[in-house]
Amino acid sequence: MNIQKLKYFIYLIEKKRTGTPSEAAEKLGISERTIYSYVKTLRDDLNAPIEFNSFRKTYEYNRSGRLHWDWVSHNE
């Protein structure tokens, strides 16, 4: 799994600009099957509430919140 591409996909979800699965795949330079795999990973492993909005033709979160997974150092 290419983490940079996954992070960009998450960015597109946040902005509601993924397009259809085939459009998202083209934007990221990956297969449509990989998009489905990313969505499954985000839903199953990270509990992200992702759905495809068929009216807007984009993936989006169906409730408010934010996916956050960057490293944060703590002062000890």
- Residue 6 — very low, low, confident or very high, per pLDDT cuts 50/70/90? very high
- The helix (H) or strand (E) run that includes residue 7 is helix 3-15
pLDDT at residue number 68: 75
Residues 6+ apart with CB under 8 A from 47: none
> Which amino acid does the sequence have at 17?
R
pLDDT at residue number 32: 97
pTM value is 0.86
Domains and CATH numbers, the chain: 3-61 (1.10.10.10)
Mind listing the pLDDT tens digit for each residue in 16-65?
A: 999 999 999 999 999 999 999 999 999 999 999 999 999 999 999 999 88
